[in-house]
Amino acid sequence: MAGGIYLAPQNYHLMLETDHTFMLDYSELVNFSRPSIDMTFSSAALAYGSRVTAILLSGANRDGAEGLCEIVAEGGTAIVQDPASADFDIMPLAAITTCNGARVMGINEIIQYIKSLM
């Protein structure tokens, strides 16, 4: 649904499809995670290319960094929470060091960016 926000249910990878549907997957953990944001970001990059905006927030592992790189490679927008404002900075730091082209923003900047999209 346009303007909607969707969250992956516990214990399932959430992947986006080109026909605008979702697929839930119970395959192995990725980066010690299920759901893995890398899988969601990768599928979004393939399905929507330059029309994707992905935001990676606080987290305690490297999940999301590779998927953000795929989004940037397809012309999408990747935003990473400023590690200084994150409760756990491992995930945003991994994304910043792995993914050239990701924008680093504080929480208020992220809020304003989302509002600008509406």
Q: Is residue 75 part of a domain?
A: yes
Q: Count structural domains, the chain.
A: 1
| CB 35 within 8 Å of CB 8 | yes
What are 87-110's pLDDT values in tens digits?
Answer: 999 999 999 999 999 999 999 999
pLDDT score of 4: 79
Q: Is residue 2 part of a domain?
A: no
Q: Is residue 4 part of a domain?
A: no
Q: Is residue 8 part of a domain?
A: no
pLDDT score of 31: 85
| CB 65 within 8 Å of CB 95 | yes
Question: Range of 76's domain?
Answer: 13-117
pLDDT score of 7: 83
pLDDT score of 81: 97
Token pair 């979004």 is found at 44
Q: Is residue 6 part of a domain?
A: no
Whole-number Å distance between alpha carbons of 51 and 73 = 12
Please give the sequence-ordered ranges of beta strands (E in DSSP) within the chain, or none if there are none.
Answer: 13-16, 22-25, 53-56, 77-81, 103-105
Q: Name the pTM for this structure.
A: 0.90
CATH number of the domain to which 27 belongs: 3.40.50.180
**For the chain, which ranges sit under pLDDT 70?**
none
Q: Is residue 3 part of a domain?
A: no
Bond before 35 cis per omega within 30 degrees: yes
Q: Which of 36, 53, 37, 45 is nearest to 17 (CA)?
A: 45
